[in-house]
Structures are given as C-alpha cells and as structure tokens.
C-alpha cells in the first residue's frame, strides 16, 4: 500500500477508510470515514474524499486525479465509482454513480443521483445536473450537460489506456513514498 504520510486518513463515527494493499494515495489527500478503495486504484494530489454521511466506493484500477472532491448526500446518496474509471483533475462528484470504464473530464461536476454509464464520457467542464443518466456510449458536454454525440470506438479504447497508464504511474509514484 502506498499511502503518503502527508495524506490525511481520518476516521469518522468510528469508521476508518479502507484500502486494498496496492492503492496509491498522494500527498495532500484527505480521506475521511466510510471510504473503500479497491485494488490498484489511485487518489492524486490534494483530493478530498469524504464518506462521512454515506459511503464512497472507488473500484479497482480507477484513478481520481488532482484536486477532485468526492462527497455524498445526507439521506441516501452514496458515491460509487466502478472499475477502470478515469476522473480528471479538479472534478466534483456528489452522491452519484460512475459505472465501470467511463470518463469524467477535467473540471466536470456530476451531481446527486446522476449515473454515468459504462463507456460514457462527460466532457471537461461539464455540469451533469441531479437525476440525469449519461447513457453508455454517449458524450455529454455543457453547463448543464447534454448529449452531443456518440462516443467513438477509439474514445472508448482511450478510457482503458488512460486507466492502465494511471495504474502504472501510481506504482512508480508509490515506490518513492
């Protein structure tokens, strides 16, 4: 496990974050409460993952890039991130579901009870409003985000490449901790 000593791992209500043995958590991250990170997942510099009122789950080989904030809804809204998901720099994920192998571009916001399905893309800077579903194979852009076109096969393959690159990069960074 490569958790930086400069990361803040904070129990909340007697629940301590849980990490697979081979995760990477970069310096400056804060991980609080009911958070679980699966195998080869990574949190990059200055992310905040707050599982205080509901759980946050980050699936295997998913990467959450620098400055992203993840939180949940008070009553019944966990944040669930599937496997091989790419979350770009400075995103905001709030009580949403990101299914396997999707991408949320830099600076995007995905709000309460929204779902981004497998193979979908949320463009950089987009705002997915509450209760929306970005269907598999769709690209959504804008504020508020709307469907603009189907995702190409090359773009779907790119998700897997980015996820694999971040797994390799996390291992490299982890060796320096």
pLDDT at residue 1 is higher than 70: no
Q: What is the dihedral of CA 162, 168, 173, 177, to 10 degrees?
A: 130
Rg of the chain (C-alpha set): 15
Cβ–Cβ under 8 Å, residues 35 and 136: no
Kindly state the percentage of the chain with pLDDT values over 70. Answer: 99
pLDDT (average), residues 80-104: 98
Question: Looking at the chain, how many residues does it have?
Answer: 177
pLDDT at res. 74:
86
Angstrom distance (rounded) from CA 166 to CA 159:
11
Establish how many alpha carbons lie within 13 A of residue 91's alpha carbon, considering only the half-sphere containing its beta carbon: 30
The model scores a pTM over 0.75: yes
Among candidates 43, 42, 49, which has minimal Cα distance to 16? Answer: 49
Least confident of 21-25, 63-67, 71-75, 90-94: 71-75
Q: Which domains does the chain have, with CATH numbers?
A: 2-175 (2.160.10.10)
Per-residue pLDDT averaged across 25-45, rounded?
A: 98
pLDDT, tens digit (0-9, with 9 covering 90-100), for 123-162: 999 999 999 999 999 999 999 999 999 999 999 999 999 9
Residues 6+ apart with CB under 8 A from 19: 1, 3, 25, 36, 37
Question: If we measure between CA atoms, which residue out of 124, 116, 108, 120 comes closest to residue 158?
Answer: 120
Q: What is the mean pLDDT of the chain?
A: 97
């Amino acid at each position: 496990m490569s958790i930086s000593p400069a990361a803040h791992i904070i129990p909340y209500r007697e629940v301590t974050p849980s990490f697979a043995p081979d995760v990477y958590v970069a310096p400056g991250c804060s991980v609080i409460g009911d958070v679980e990170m699966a195998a080869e997942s990574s949190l990059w510099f200055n992310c905040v993952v707050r599982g205080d009122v509901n759980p946050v789950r980050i699936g295997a080989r998913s990467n959450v890039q620098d400055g992203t904030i993840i939180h949940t809804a008070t009553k019944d809204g966990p944040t669930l991130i599937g496997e091989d998901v790419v979350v770009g720099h400075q995103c905001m994920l709030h009580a949403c579901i990101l299914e396997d192998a999707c991408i949320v571009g830099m600076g995007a916001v995905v709000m309460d009870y929204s779902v981004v399905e497998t193979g979908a893309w949320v463009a950089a800077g987009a705002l997915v409003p509450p209760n929306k579903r970005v269907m598999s194979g769709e690209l959504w852009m804008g504020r508020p985000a709307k469907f603009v076109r189907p995702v190409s096969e090359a773009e779907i393959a790119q998700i897997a490449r980015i996820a694999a690159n971040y797994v390799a990069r996390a291992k490299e960074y982890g060796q320096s901790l």
